[in-house]
Amino acid sequence: MVTSMIIFFNSQNMYVLLDLGAAHSFISCKFISKLSVLKHKLNKSHSMKVNLLSLEIYYFDIILGMHWLTKHRAFMDYFKRKMTFKVPIEKEIEFRGKR
């Protein structure tokens, strides 16, 4: 199963692919030049680190694979249009879709 989303990050949109078939996580070579930091801060008290391998990707900025998704216990609820993460030692973190 593959799901994509747009995340507003560092004053720009970041196109992210959640790929259950990918063993690793990747970042497009083009997008690397746009970022000064490769750590996505969810808010002031939460952060989720990701190790990204650079790859020539053309349609997405980042691909998050199973290693990252399982580490952060990602759960997608398509009916409610939300994705929940369980960050170690912290509460659940949710992203909600608007459509």
Residue 88 inside a domain? The answer is no
User: In the chain, how many domains are there?
Assistant: 1
pLDDT of residue 51: 86
Rounded CA gap, 85 and 21, in Å?
19
Higher pLDDT, 95 or 78: 78
Q: Say if 62 falls within a structural domain.
A: yes
The answer to whether residue 49 is domain-embedded is yes
Joined together, the tokens standing for residue 96 give 């909600």
Residue-range definition of the domain harbouring residue 46: 2-71
CB atoms within 10 A of CB 86: 12
d(CA 99, CA 91): 25
In a domain, residue 47? The reply is: yes
- Domain contains 14: yes
Residue 52 falls within a domain, yes or no?
yes
Question: How confident is the model over 7-66, as pLDDT tens digits?
Answer: 766 667 788 888 888 999 999 988 887 775 544 444 455 667 788 899 999 889 999 999
Query: Beta strands 62-64 and 12-19: pairing type?
Result: parallel
Burial class (CB in 10 A: 0-12, 13-18, 19+), 35: middle
Check which CATH number belongs to the domain holding 31 and give it.
2.40.70.10
The model's confidence at residue 72, banded by pLDDT at 50, 70 and 90, is confident
